[in-house]
Amino acid sequence: MGQVDQTFLQNFGYQLYQHLFTDTIATSYQRGLTQARMEKKGLRLRLRIDAPELQVMPWEYLYDKRNGLFLAANREILLTRYVESGQARRDMKVAALNVLIVISNPKRNDPRLLAYPELQVAEEKNLAVSALKALRDNTDIPIRYTVLEHAIIDEIRQYLNMDFHIFHFIGKAITLQPSHCIRAP
């Protein structure tokens, strides 16, 4: 199998960065990151990209050359995409809120994975579950959650056919070659 070319990914990610973070957006981002670091807090970046041809771009590869970091892989930054559904918002009336938490963490015994930082899945899971318990204690709506650990794609598909309102993913997909992905066992 081929090796991941870190320089290629950085250059590609930086090109994406340059197209998205222009002028005032770049200045706001740098100020926000500096302030978040000073306050020892995280920075949340929400990408709202309306053009369909740009929505398919792999924005998770955004690379900030100045700070030497991939935005989506940095623990200081929460990068999310916002996709307009095109449907009018409607009130959600449910008897209970059902949340699916999916954890996918490839085994570390594969030497190809050593170049990637290990996920702190237990910590992430505890944060998500604690937040749901706190929310459940402060609302009249029952909140139920299911944790699917060591998830594989077929199992995730089965659960997605069930009645969940929120899907929370803890994990990452690592592409070693365009046609090969490592999945959690």
Q: Encode 5-61 in three state secondary structure.
A: CHHHHHHHHHHHHHHHCCHHHHHHHHHHHHHHHHCCCCEEEEEECCCHHHHCCCHHH
Are 72 and 116 in a shared domain?
no
Give the length of the chain. 185
Single residue among 82, 106, 130 that ends a domain in this structure: 82
Q: Domain tally for the chain? A: 2
Distance of CA 164 to the CA centre of its chain: 19
Are 101 and 173 in a shared domain?
yes
For residue 90, is it within any domain?
Answer: no
> Per-residue confidence at 5, pLDDT binned at 50, 70, 90?
confident
CB 4 within 8 A of CB 173: no
Identify the CATH number of the domain in which residue 169 sits: 3.40.50
Structure confidence by residue, pLDDT tens digits, 86-97: 666 666 566 788
Query: What is the extent of the structural domain holding 68?
Result: 6-82
pTM: 0.49
> What is the structure's pLDDT at 182?
42
> What is the structure's pLDDT at 14?
95
For residue 87, is it within any domain?
Answer: no
Structure confidence by residue, pLDDT tens digits, 30-65: 999 999 999 988 888 888 888 878 878 888 899 999
Are 129 and 165 in a shared domain?
yes
43, 59, 101 from 153: Cα distances, Å: 30, 22, 14
Are 75 and 112 in a shared domain?
no
